[in-house]
Amino acid sequence: MNRIIIIGCGGSGKSTLARNLSKKTNLPVVHLDKIFWKEGWINISREEFNTLLKEELKKEKWIIDGNYDRTIKERIEMCDTVIYLDYPRMSCLFGVIKRVVSSYGKVRPDMADGCPERFDLEFLKWIWNFNKEHRDKFYNILQKEKNKQIYIFKNRKECNEFVKNL
């Protein structure tokens, strides 16, 4: 495991898992949210994002967390390990609400400077619809991958056990 991508619904704990895996493996973490957002929750252009992501993908070792569907194929192509946090909707909603309550107004370590945690109704709607809109696509992509180590966790306990046993 030298190049790991972590995908899953918002609130599933992708960034937390990335940090925990980094502690165990000493692999550097790349948070896609930190690349995509600029101060004041302004997103960078698609071209700039693609350029920055390509620079990260060229590196020998990394853990990349985040969805950003339109670049999922490039990330899967370059990784050796995929971790998909396929959690129930309510678990993810709970994760986001817990995160907002604990970090409201603060900039999280996995977020760009100047992007403090906030309550975002559109983000909650995105989480609500995530499995319906993304799950099949993720499974279809992962099903085709024969030369990758793929881990799919259905709950936090499974994921925590995996990290503990590394």
Residue type, 114: G
Q: What is the pLDDT of residues 58-69, one digit of tens each?
A: 999 999 999 898
Q: What's the predicted TM-score (pTM) here?
A: 0.93
Q: What are phi and psi of 61, to 5 degrees?
A: -140, 140
**What is the reported pLDDT for 146?**
87
Kind of pairing, strands 81-85 and 62-65? unpaired
**What is the reported pLDDT for 61?**
98
Q: What is the pLDDT of residues 11-32, one digit of tens each?
A: 999 999 999 999 999 999 999 9
| 106-109: long-range pairs with CB below 8 Å, 24+ | 108/15, 109/15, 109/19
Task: Tell me the CA distances in angstroms from 117 to 25, 102, 108, 123, 144, one per residue in order.
Answer: 28, 9, 7, 12, 36
Residue 87's pLDDT band, with cuts at 50, 70 and 90, is very high
